[in-house]
Chain A
Amino acid sequence: MVEAGRSPNIEILTNADLISLKGKPGSFKADIVQRPRYINADDCTACGLCTTYCPRHQEDDYNEGLNITRPIHIDYPQAVPATYYIDPRSCLHLTHDTCQICVPVCQSKAIDFSQQPEEMTLEVGAVIMSPGFGRISEETLAKYSYGKHPDVVTSIEFERLLNPSGPFAGEVRCLSDNRHPHKIAFIQCVGSRDIGCNNGYCSSVCCMYAIKEAMVAKEHNPEADITVYYMDIRTQGKDFDAAQKRALDKGIKFVRAKVADIMPWGDHLRLTYSTLDGKHNFKPFDMVVLSVGLESPPDAQKLADMGGFKLNKYDFCATDTFTPLATSKDGILVAGAFNGPMDIPESVTQSSGAAGIAAGLIKKQRGKSLIHKTYPDEKEMGDDVRIGVFVCHCGINISSVVDVPKVSDYAGDMDGVVYYTESLYSCSQDAQEVLKDKIKEHNLNRVVIAACSPRTHEPLFQETLKDAGLNRSLFEMVNIRDQCSWVHANEPDAATDKSKDLVRMAVAKARHIQPLPEQTVPVTKSGLVVGGGIGGLTAALNLADQGFNCALVEKQDTLGGNYKKLDHTKELIAQVKKNKLVTVYTNSELQQTSGFVGNFSSIISSGKGAKVKETTLDHGVIIIATGANEHRPETVLGNTVKYSQNIVTQSELALQLEGKGKSRAPKSVVMIQCAGSRGDDLNYCSKTCCTTAVENALTIKKINPDSQVIMLYRDIRTYGYAEDLYQEARQKGVLFIPYEMDNKPSFAEKGGKITVSFFDPILQDDITMNPQMVALSVGMVPEETDTLSKLLKVPVTADKFFLEAHVKLRPVELPVAGVYVCGLAHSPKPVNEIIVQAQAASAKAAMPLVKGYVTVDPIVSNVDKGTCIGCRLCTSLCPYQAIQMVKDENNKPKAETIVASCKACGICASHCPTFAISMGGFTNEQINSQIEAFGSGIKEKEAA
């Protein structure tokens, strides 16, 4: 968010409403009205004085109305833009023409009641709709006693209760009498999977967030007794099942039940629920959390009318399986929860994909309005060391444990420190201004920030340094959140001491840091896509649409992968073959890749045996789309499987159902879900098998309504709109019977006769039957990934799927710059999600190609040729081939770093027998001084 606020190429128009939208790709006209804030953004310093003086109260929407704020306020300190605003609904001046107390209070004279709505017309080439989701109606919530009892809260309210900036400063308390709730119930599927409120779909995210909230509540109060009431636990995302397992390990209970009623009961709530066996049970709770679903946004219809695109029957944006990011109107794309309920990783992926498509649509206009950011010249370092230390409270995330003022004061006494201070949120936009000012005011030439994780925030601070005329390497960050306040949450004194140690070490290092030059390297403007299935085809075409050459390498002799038979795939193959920018290599494999982002060189081998041909390709980026295959487990739930006519996989059944004649539908079939997945022999949920099985069940019922279809399952995971299919299958008489892992179904075939036995929790009895067929939902396994993983030095998960750089914020990038992943090689997923990911991966991959150059991280190895004895140890050890031998003027061999290839792993520096190699930003001198500083602290303590 802060990044968006700082970008010179993003104009944020808040308080803004779209009132009309017309046009076509390349030229849209959007009329916007911007409502006044009544506060000038340029003048407001976000000091908050006005809020303390404003006499009027109003509900705090940001905190879901759980506490009170004033009409003049800011939602939260890190808000972007960091400007206060006046809510016209309750401001005394704006409603009653009185008051105006705030006007003279504001020292920077930022308050301006004369502001009027401003109308403007934006002329743009394309539009992306991302208005998100709306709230489940109060009427639906009332069925769960919401509104009747203050301790029935929604999950969003519960998020606020958990949050340090929430109504009770991060303490979970009952709204009725402020006590800490001991027994907490979560009720799933509120406003989802509920035809009663016309939301037949599953909201897909609430199971996962309920688990998260329950876990965080447990962290707040380990004694809390938490039960989740659910129909199915839908944690189908990558590694999401593990989250539920952790919750179970923490003692969070999961009960498969329907909640019938919630009633006030003394100062408690009484929950009535019925379990599968038909029994009604009662239980008291202190607090009930409703896991509310995601509703279409309130102005969906208005937006659709203005934009001229269609909504689906649930009033979310209508899209097609094969064009999942396109609205029905050309040039208007959609991303995020408005495109159907989805979580953050999925939203982020969709956004990248939609951005890429928009970019392709108007590629002729590319760069025409781009503003290139310039930085002031780097100032002279001078001889003095002038360090500034900034210690962050992170709201109360750090300061609730660590004594921040003490740490800051401690830093003030250190050598070289000329300025020190605390800040509430160092990452907020106004804090960046403060940082810049302080660098100038105190002529700082090194900055130490003690705050959260450098992984997420270092780039932000370094950017601010550059804005202030400092080289970004003149920066040292200490993580006193993860490493102090989080891990030592129960030992505030020790956490404070450790923070002091870390700050002391950082300052010691900072005394020795030097500016490092930033280098740029040009890129080869083309891509390489590995894998020619639906994901690879989509990615290659997208890169071509954006104007870049692309090589598509496929192992098999034909393109199309798992979805060869789809019309859409055939269409893609035809387009790829026609497209002049795409070169296809079938029967081919990637043999070798060297280089780095922007400058890869790969060898592709084509053909087999004696006729192998090798091609060398230079390219700037790589997209991995190697896919997955159907799993074929030899045992399922402890039963040895002998695949036959009658014991088949779901895909074999689907094939059989494609034929002719009524008999192709088995008269009776038992489908077994999670056959191999979710801890049977694969550890993960294969995500697609529930929907596939339900589809097959429906096809069978369509061919022969008398066929008996029984599905044995653990959780039916027909998330999103697929829930409609599940409901339809139930209506059509498909029987769904859950099994537990401690009482698994058994099946066997003997002399052509199949016997299946399982426990029926509804009848509370063991059942044995002889269906005509058993269909196994076998899941999927990734295509071999070890070779590529080694070749490209990118990691895979324990389950052998490629591991992305950050699951939430960088879902299609791999940790090696310039390498991207999409489709089943990333994790199991249905075809529409594969396409979205391929579109996202190609958008991300296009970025360095568009830019035309890459910046080399200044932290690279550096060989001191005078000390180097030419032993070549480093060249043999470097995993990235980033060190070469050159001859010096005396013709002696000396090592030299290829900076653009160096990944700064430090192996060379740590092995060099003569200490000739140092790492920029991690010199021996710097590290030694850090170690000494650590030791001096121990001495101090011993002395005391």
Chain B
Amino acid sequence: MAKAKKSREGTVMVLGGGIAGVQAALDLTDLGYYVYLVEKSPAIGGVMAQLDKTFPTNDCSL
């Protein structure tokens, strides 16, 4: 097993890449931080990515 080490100041880990995690990650970068977005499945998006349209605006947008 390769062991990589990622050590940097000014970073935040976000665990879970659903809409909540993605939004937190985006906002953190706008606030000046580098983010590791850790997602257990092969893609980010969480449940929202499975939804057809979403209330209240019923568009897909993301």
Residues in A whose Cβ lies below 8 Å from that of B54 = 212, 344, 808
Contact A365 to B31, CB < 8 A, known contacts A4-B44, A212-B54, A351-B20: no
Given contacts A14-B39, A18-B15, is CB(A239)–CB(B31) below 8 Å?
Answer: no
A116 touches B27 (CB 8 A): no
Give 1 or 0 for each of B24-44: 1 = CB within 8 Å of chain A CB. Answer: 111111111111111111111
Which of A9, A131, A160, A354 meets B29, CB within 8 Å? A9
How extensive is the interface on chain B, given as a class? 35 or more
CB atoms of A359 and B31 under 8 A apart: yes
CB distance from A565 to the nearest CB of B (A): 33
- Given contacts A32-B38, A338-B16, 10 further A-B pairs with CB under 8 A are A9-B35, A13-B37, A123-B6, A240-B55, A243-B56, A336-B19, A359-B32, A808-B56, A808-B57, A809-B62
Contacts of A809 in B (CB 8 A): 61-62
Chain A residues within an 8 Å CB radius of B9 = 125, 365, 368-369
Contacts of B45 in A (CB 8 A): 1, 79-80
- Hey, which chain A residues are within 8 Å of B8, CB to CB? 123, 368-369
Which A residues between 135 and 183 are near B, CB-CB below 8 angstroms?
A: 156, 159-160, 162-163, 166
Main SS at interface, chain A: mixed
Task: Report which A residues bind B (CB closer than 8 A).
Answer: 1-5, 7, 9-18, 28, 30, 32, 37, 62, 64, 74-76, 79-81, 85, 116-133, 156, 159-160, 162-163, 166, 208-209, 211-213, 216, 237-240, 243, 303, 335-338, 343-345, 347-348, 350-352, 354-356, 358-359, 362, 365-371, 453, 456, 546, 806-809, 843-844, 846-847, 850-851
CB <8 Å contact, B14 and A128: yes
Within 8 Å CB of B57, what residues of A? 806-808
CB distance from B38 to the nearest CB of A (A): 5
Contact between A75 and B6, CB atoms less than 8 A apart? no
A359-B33, A365-B10 known; A131-B15 Cβ under 8 A: yes
Q: Which residue of B lies closest to A368 (CB)?
A: B10
Q: Could you say which residues of chain A place their CB within 8 Å of the CB of B23?
A: 335, 347-348, 351-352, 355
Asked if residues B16 and A130 are in contact (CB atoms below 8 Å), the reply is: yes
Can you list the 3 inter-chain pairs with the closest CB atoms, starting with the nearest? Answer: A336-B20, A368-B10, A355-B27
B6 to chain A, nearest CB (A): 5
Residues in chain B within 8 A of chain A (CB atoms): 1-59, 61-62
- State in angstroms the CA–CA spacing of A908 and B18 once bound together: 44
Which A residues are CB-close (under 8 A) to B6? 120-123
Name the contact of A1 in the complex, choosing from B41, B49, B55 (C-beta under 8 A). Answer: B49
Q: Which of B14, B18, B39 has the most CB of A within 10 A?
A: B14
Q: How far is the CA of A345 from the CA of B7 in the complex (A)?
A: 33
**Known A1-B49, A75-B43; contact A351-B21, beta-carbon cutoff 8 A:** yes
Question: Which of A243, A365, A806 is in CB contact (< 8 Å) with B55?
Answer: A243
Nearest A-chain residue to B35, judged by Cβ: A10
B37 near A10 with CB under 8 A, answer yes
Contact B15 A335 (CB under 8 A): no
CA of A252 to CA of B51, assembled, Å: 21
Distance, CA A369 to CA B45, complexed state (A): 25
In angstroms, Cα B33 to Cα A879, docked, is 37
Chain B: minimal CB distance from A463 (Å): 14
Give complex CA distance A32, B48 in Å: 25
Q: A123-B8, A370-B34, A847-B30 are in contact. Are A132 and B16 (CB under 8 A)?
A: yes
Residues from chain B with a CB closer than 8 A to the CB of A117 are 1
- Please name all residues of chain B whose beta carbon is closer than 8 Å to the beta carbon of A28 when the two chains form the complex: 13
Distance of A253 from chain B, by nearest CB (Å): 19
Contacts of A807 in B (CB 8 A): 56-57
- What are the residues of chain B within 8 A of A123 when measuring CB–CB? 5-8, 11
Pairs A–B under 8 Å by Cβ, sample size 12: A81-B43, A116-B1, A124-B12, A130-B20, A243-B56, A336-B20, A345-B56, A351-B27, A365-B11, A370-B33, A456-B59, A807-B56
Q: Give the chain A neighbours of B5 by CB distance below 8 A.
A: 120-121, 123
Cross-chain contact B31 with A350 (CB below 8 angstroms): no
Given A125-B9, A163-B52, A806-B57, residue A156 in contact with residue B44 (CB < 8 A): no
Contact A456 B61 (CB under 8 A): yes
Q: Which residues of B contact A336 (CB under 8 A)?
A: 16, 18-21
B12 touches A358 (CB 8 A): yes
**Chain A residues positioned under 8 Å from B14 (CB to CB):** 127-128, 130
- With A125-B9, A362-B10, A367-B32 known as contacts, the answer to whether A130 contacts B24 (CB < 8 A) is yes
A128 touching B42 in the complex, CB below 8 Å, given contacts A156-B47, A243-B55, A369-B33: no
CA distance A85 to B23 in the complex (A): 25
> Assuming the A-B contacts A131-B15, A336-B21, are A122 and B27 also in contact, with contact meaning beta carbons closer than 8 angstroms in the complex?
no
Given contacts A1-B62, A336-B19, A807-B57, contact A370 B32 (CB under 8 A): yes
